[in-house]
Amino acid sequence: MEKWLLFLQTDKKEVRDMLSSENKTLEKANKVIDMFYSDDIEREMYMTAEKYEMDRYFINLENYEKGVEKGKEEEKIKYQKS
């Protein structure tokens, strides 16, 4: 909690970098803050990369769910034949 408070109170990038190097959640927060301080091109690149990662996650989740359903159907058919 103390590190979060220090992280939120500081306006020094070096302090944020040091605090975020010790904590994955703070690391993500630091990346977001860096994005807001970056120029337009860097911000657009960050947003594009974030969108790609989110799209990839949901495509994989959808494929996983389809695979689970297919497995259930195959198991159901196999059970009915025996």
Q: Quick one: tokens of 44?
A: 């657009």
* % of residues, the chain, pLDDT over 70: 99
Question: Does the structure show a pLDDT above 90 at 22?
Answer: no
Give a three-class secondary structure readout of 21-50.
CCCHHHHHHHHHHHHHHCCHHHHHHHHHHH
The pLDDT tens digits for 27-39 are 999 888 887 777 8
The pLDDT tens digits for 41-53 are 877 887 899 899 9
Q: Say which residues have a Cβ less than 8 Å from residue 20's Cβ, sequence separation at least 6.
A: 7, 26, 27, 29, 30
- Average of pLDDT values for 47-63? 94
Identity of the amino acid at 48: T
Contact 7, 26 (CB under 8 A): yes
